[in-house]
């Protein structure tokens, strides 16, 4: 726990760097904290169309990424008793198809963030 504050500040700094870059790249929805709130950025998760193709593109360039939440809650077996089906919550379903978590850890370097962003930008250019 003694390192938690330093790790949190480092993650927030890295997220600010990602946000600075991604704010200039159309097609990437980045995480933002509401006014008056603080985000710890345990994960840095973007939303992007063609998520799976981007993940493969990044992997081919030896850049890690992850899909931590591939299914919306209403389609997970635990909640099947509620009786929801595909199409009931289209925004949740779309988000589940578009979210991709990029490298985020306290020791991440600015050059590594720039490399990730450059790869995403290259992917979006086609």
For position 2, what pLDDT does the model report?
A: 85
| pLDDT score, position 99 | 97
- The dihedral formed by the CA atoms of 89, 81, 83 and 99, expressed in degrees to the nearest 10: 20
Helices (H) and strands (E) in the chain, counts: 4, 2
- Indicate the pairing of strand 99-102 with strand 44-47: antiparallel
**Domains of the chain by start residue, with CATH:** 4-34+41-125 (3.90.1150.10)
Tens-digit pLDDT string for the chain (126 aa): 888 899 999 999 999 999 999 999 999 999 988 999 999 999 999 999 999 999 999 999 999 999 999 999 999 999 999 999 999 999 999 999 999 999 999 999 999 999 999 999 999 998
The pLDDT value recorded for residue 58 is 98
């Amino acid at each position: 726990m003694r390192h938690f504050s330093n790790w949190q500040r480092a993650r927030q700094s890295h997220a600010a760097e990602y946000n600075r870059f991604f704010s200039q790249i159309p097609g990437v929805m980045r995480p933002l904290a509401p006014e008056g709130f603080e985000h710890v950025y345990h994960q840095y998760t973007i939303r992007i169309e063609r998520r799976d193709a981007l993940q493969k593109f990044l992997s081919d360039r030896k850049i890690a990424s992850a899909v931590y939440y591939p299914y919306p809650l209403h389609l997970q077996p635990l909640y099947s008793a509620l009786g929801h089906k595909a199409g009931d919550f289209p925004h949740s379903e779309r988000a589940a198809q578009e979210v991709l978590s990029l490298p985020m850890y306290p020791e991440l370097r600015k050059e590594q963030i720039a490399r990730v962003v450059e790869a995403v930008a290259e992917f979006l250019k086609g």
